[in-house]
Every structure is written in C-alpha cells, then in structure tokens.
Chain A
C-alpha cells in the first residue's frame, strides 16, 4: 500500500517536471521567435518592396517612377498604397515627363517543382507584353531555371502580341506556348528544350493572365495617366 503511494507520488512529480520543462521551453521559444519576427519585419518588408520595385523597372523599359493601383470589384483601377495583400494590384510605370508607359502585373501558375510567380509588363498603347521577370521559382537549377536566364526565351517578351479583338472585349489571339523552334506567330511563346514544363507554364500563365487583365487595363488606360494635381 505504502509502495503504491510512493510510486504515485513519483509519477506525479515526474509529470509535473515534464510539463514544466515543456511549457518553459515553449514560452522561451515563442518569445524568441516573436522578438526575431518583430526585429526583422521592417527590414524584410523593405527588401521585398525594393526587389519588387526593381522587377517593375525591369519589365517596363524606360520608366523612371511607378504608382500602385488596385483593382476594385467593379473592375476599375484606383490608386492604392499596396498594403492590402488580399487585393489585386498593378504597378503603373511613368517616364520622366510623367507619361504613362504601361503596367506591371503579377501572375502565377504551377511549374515543374512548385508554383512560379512572375511579373510582366503590358503596354496598352502597343497592346504587347514588353517585359517579363520571375519573382519566385523553385525550378530545377540548370534546367527549369533557364526561364530566368535563357536569352532566346526572354526575347519572347520584348513584344508579345496581346491585341484585342475588333469589339475590344477580349484578346484576339490568346498567348500560347509552342516548342522550341516552332514559333510562327507574335502571340506564341517559344519554349526551351530541357525546360519544357517550366517554359510551357510561363506561356500558360501569361495566356490566362493577359486574357483577363489586358482588356481591363486597355479600357482604363486613361485612369493611369497623371493629372496636373498629381504631379
């Protein structure tokens, strides 16, 4: 009887010790993570914003400043601070004389390894895609990551045709991927042999995104123009 009591006391003591140890370590770890998060948050946000801004300048040649616009549920674009990450935003680009040069649009799709996030530039005056940049990709080094480096592939996006149809309601010819050497039309994205899935993904992402965004941006291209009081 007394033996049982001794065993029970020992077991309770051990349980308390286990609980104390786990809770104590848990609280310490939580505190350390929160402190690190708070300490680095500002710097990380700044670096991410800088990287995105760099990418916007990359996909819209000739611009010197950008402004963020968000897409409203009514399908219009209004100036935004870009803080609300749930909203679809576009980055309008302007040259030295505040002339509107086009918008940079984010899009994504499933690649070979993981989701590929891209940014592309659309110029409503020529109705073409004028630049392309990979924001996030985990494609195979040396193969799939050619979508970021291959000069021939990147040449697809110097003037990729996304002309609207006669009644200006949708893209006349949807952007489609074709195999390397098979490009015959201005709206085709020539793929890369050895990075077939990754390069096809880019063609498909652009096809899907431009089909929605090109008509929207084209119809509201005047809303991006800088008014005298905005200068």
Chain B
C-alpha cells in the first residue's frame, strides 16, 4: 500500500526554477525543438550581429511580457486575455524599437520591419498564454529567461554560420584570404533554410545519441 503511494504515476514532481530555465534553453528550445518564431529566425539571421540583436530584442519582449502577464494573471478576465497579451507585447516591442533606434541607426536599418514583427512572434504569445498566465512571477521570469536565451543561442548559431560562409566574416572581421569566394546563397533566404535544416539535423542527432546512451 505504502509502495503504491510512493510510486503513484499521477503525482508529478514540481519543476524547480532551474528546470524552467533549462527547459527553454535546451530541452524545449524554441527554435531547434519547437520550431517557433521562424520569420525572424530565417530573415534576420544573415549576420551574427543582426541575429544577436534580434534575439536579444525578442528575449527582452518575452521577459517583460511574461512578467506583466504573470503579475496581472488574476486581474485579466479570460474573455479578453488574448487582446490584453497582444497589447502588452506590442507595447514592449515599441519600447524595443525606440531603444534600438537610440542605440544605432545602422542596426535599426538592418533589422528593418522585423522589429515590429516581434509582436506576432508566436513564441512570445504562446509563453504568455501557456505559462505566464498560469504561473507565479518568479517562475515566469525563469521561463522567459530560458526561452529567451535559447532563442538568442539558436539565432546566433544560424547567424554565425551564415555570415562566415556567406560573407567570409564574423562580426565584420574578415576570416579568409581575398581569394575566398563568399557563398552568397547563405545570406539569402534559401541559405537560412539550409542552415536551419543543418542545425536541426545536428541537434536531433545529438539528442538521439544521448537518449540511446
């Protein structure tokens, strides 16, 4: 009887804050596992700098919207929750847009319309709806940090490969001799798909290998 209670499959361990962080960073990585937010992932990962900036901007919006949604979860009626989340997300995207303009005009020019499109990034809305609206502020922060860092990591992986092969540079530092012929396709949209496919293969291969071990 006592053994039955301790081994009851219905009782699940409550995930710790560290678990919430690791989940987004690796196990449920928003790009490599959930394949969410593909629009900026493919469009703005043509250089490492653009990828990093877009990743950080998205992570900031994700963090702030998760904090606000978790804080107001008992105040927002379910009938208007999606409208409220969109309003909150759009506000932080506007804040990020002004912040990037205030940091660098060139960076803002490079990221272009994709900053505004963070509003409709399904990663952010899904975390607000699926997690922050049902959990405490602390856990929501850890969830946003994990997912945000995971998103930055994935975008950076794509941006680095595409810039090195497509431009022959890394953060604008030339890596190859002048004779190097850059693979222009890598900084075009098709290159984004190729690179993402390669990273997905690598990621899944590693996970499979680890699961078998």
By DSSP majority rule, is chain B's interface helix, strand, loop, or mixed?
A: helix
Q: A29-B91, A141-B187, A142-B188 are in contact. Are A37 and B80 (CB under 8 A)?
A: no
Query: Which residues on the B side are within 8 Å of A138 (C-beta)?
Result: 112-113
**Chain B residues with a Cβ closer than 8 Å to the other chain, count:** 30
- Find B95's partner among A14, A18, A32 (CB 8 Å cutoff): A32
Q: Say yes or no: A21 contacts B80, CB within 8 Å.
A: yes
A: contact size bracket:
20 to 34
Q: A21-B77, A36-B99 are in contact. Are A47 and B187 (CB under 8 A)?
A: no
Number of interchain pairs (Cβ within 8 Å):
69
Query: Which residues on the B side are within 8 Å of A36 (C-beta)?
Result: 94-95, 98-99
Which residue of B has the minimal Cβ distance to A32? Answer: B91
Chain B 77-111 residues near chain A, CB threshold 8 A: 77, 79-80, 83-84, 87-88, 90-91, 94-95, 98-99, 101-102, 104-106, 109
Which residue of B has the minimal Cβ distance to A33? Answer: B94
Q: Say yes or no: A48 contacts B166, CB within 8 Å.
A: no
CA distance A24 to B184 in the complex (A): 50
Query: Which residues on the B side are within 8 Å of A141 (C-beta)?
Result: 46, 187-188
- Find A22's partner among B84, B113, B184 (CB 8 Å cutoff): B84
Tell me the minimal C-beta distance from B147 to chain A in angstroms.
22
CA distance A18 to B116 in the complex (A): 27
6 A-B pairs besides A17-B77, A36-B94, A44-B98 with CB distance below 8 A are A21-B80, A29-B88, A33-B94, A33-B95, A48-B105, A142-B46
